[in-house]
Amino acid sequence: MQVYGTELAGRFLLGTALYPSPAVMQEAFRASKAAVATVSVRREGAGSGAGMVFWQIIAGLGIPVLPNTAGCHSVKEAVITAHMARELFDTRWIKLEVIGNSDTLQPDPFGLVEAARILTGDGFQVFPYMTEDLVLADRLLDAGCEVLMPWGAPIGTGLGLLNRYALRSLRAHFPDVPMVIDAGLGLPSQAAEAMEMGFDAVLLNTAVAKAGDPVAMARAFALAIEAGVLARAADPIEPRDMAAPSTPVLGKAFLA
């Protein structure tokens, strides 16, 4: 998978929040073989003290970092946070979140497009967290985004892929655009399904970090993502309304 000209080592993007301890987080990342670590700039806070310790742990993972603008509810707030992230993490990548509803954490489509246009103009490589909306996707691509990150379900719910029809339509409408399912996954089977549908990667946090055993869950998601990629490449059979015998009847003996 390539994003903005960078080839990633895998298709699993994993968040760094909510773990019981930094040690568990590190173990979970090792088990996941994640290709990218996402990190909240707000949680990182400062470049010294506890914030610096946390950044050193993240840097020690040895994988690219994708900072995000989590918790931002306005264009101005998201743009300022993105500039802080670029200075702090020395990367042009930014996972852009502009939240429009506090209960569902649904993105604000109007603010998202505006912020994306500003940030791409400022030299950022934007990864927009979005709903599964074709028109919104088109506007974000026009704004300069080269990657799309539609949600499976609201953040932290674990509900999986709620709107399969819209997700399949989005994937089919933009076949050449890298797409990452971002948020709402709760089970490895849901990640496998996303890959079987043709998405390029998945991004999640809560499903691993809040599991009873985050390390085991991280490995489970890694295996599911691999299985989904292999299944997609194997050209699965189409669903049928009628049964089809796996054993041919030609040559079978019939008793009179």
Q: Look at strands 6-7 and 2-3 and give their pairing.
A: antiparallel
SS3 17: coil
> Which residue, 121, 138, 122, is CA-closest to 130?
138
Residue 14 Cα distances to 82, 145, 173, angstroms? 19, 21, 27
Residue 90 CB-density burial (10 A; 0-12 exposed, 13-18 middle, 19+ buried): exposed
Task: Give the annotated binding-site residues for 1-deoxy-D-xylulose 5-phosphate.
Answer: 156, 183-184, 205-206
Contact (CB, 8 A) for 221 and 32: yes
SS3 223: helix
- Please tell me the distance from the alpha carbon of residue 35 to that of residue 144, in angstroms, as a whole number: 23
Active-site choice (33, 76, 95, 210): 95
Verify whether residue 76 is a known catalytic residue: no
Residue with tokens 């670029």: 86
- Please tell me the distance from the alpha carbon of residue 83 to that of residue 80, in angstroms, as a whole number: 5
Task: Give the annotated binding-site residues.
Answer: 156, 183-184, 205-206
Which residues are within 8 A (CB) of 33 and not within 5 positions of it... i.e. 6 or more apart? Answer: 9, 10, 12, 222
Catalytic positions: 95
